[in-house]
Structure 1
Amino acid sequence: MVLAAVLAGLGVAASGCGIQSTSVPVDAGAAPSRAACVLPEDESNGVGPGRAPVRIYLLCGSRLVPAERLVRLPETRHNFARVLLDQLQQRPDQQERAAGFESKVPSDLLVEEPAADDPTGTIRLSEPLDTLPAYALAQLVCSYAESGAADNDNTVLLGGPREDEDAELRRYTCGTQLRNEPKDAASAGTTA
């Protein structure tokens, strides 16, 4: 009898936890993150002959945050796109992981040669854009758009494999909306 009264009391207490039920779906965004999303200043600049810092975008929590990497600079825009992709595919270093950074770019993704009739600056990927994870697409868009791989207007023209007849080229810009909501990358571009 006492046990039943205690259980009934616990049931009443638990039902009054302050969270009201609702018939309307609520999207309150991603759960708060304890990740710092800030990297310590690098005291060694590491810049040397043929090496320069480049900015890539990594995922931290549910948003994109810039990170700097040192790379050997290639001579062509197309090869620069490959270098950036390689950096996005690398596992974040210890400091980046400690700050909460990660990358969603698939390790088997490649930058392919553009088609003969593609506009100058087109970056073709080995996977159709609509099959890439949204976070990976956002990382690629922002890393390319804010680099030497982009057009002069800081937009990037992306496409899937040349062989995919249905694949259209899409033009993307890396704005605040995309950096804060990378899950929306699939709908961020415009048909070129």
Structure 2
Amino acid sequence: MKSLVFEWQIPGVRRELIIALIKSLPKPVRRNFVPAPNYAEAFLGRATPLELPLLDSLEREFRRMAGISIDREDWHWDQVPDHLKMTFRVVDEHNKKLKEGKDLSELKGGLKDKVQQTLSAVADDGIEQSGLHIWSFGSLPESYEQKRGNYRMKAFPALVDEKESVAIKLFDNPLEQQQAMWRGLRRLLLLNIRRR
């Protein structure tokens, strides 16, 4: 899940969110964008939601409208009222709340180990393997889906470098999968070159 989708909020709250973000700017910057409701309306009329991250879009459109560049550190999400921020709730397969918060990245980081345990638990016998020295496992799927309770788990298998061998492990996102796969594939090639 990417926070880009959520930082734009739902359409009914978007105007109020933009006004709050304008009001979060330091006064010397903010005075270029008053009245805030007018700039919020103008922004919403020009911007394409979800095309860019919200702050990128605000900075671009406000630069076009007022000729003023806004530095990223001038925005203060912490001054935006909580009711204008999405609340994220992570539940397990029994719908029991594991964690809740306003910051998706922080939630993801705090649950990394739990996600890895869950991915390992839902893996069919055989997809995760270790101690591999040759490509003896057929083709590796780009993604792997498994139903767990009422939820579908999607994982991304990759070869993982274990120094003296490689393993097949599941990752929760394709970026980590690609990084691990590159290192794992390199290790598998090195192991096979040494054997010859």
Instruction: Select the structure with the greater relative contact order (CA < 8 A; seq sep ≥ 6).
Output: 1
* Larger helix share, 1 or 2: 2
TM over 0.5: no
TM-score normalised by structure 2 residue count: 0.28
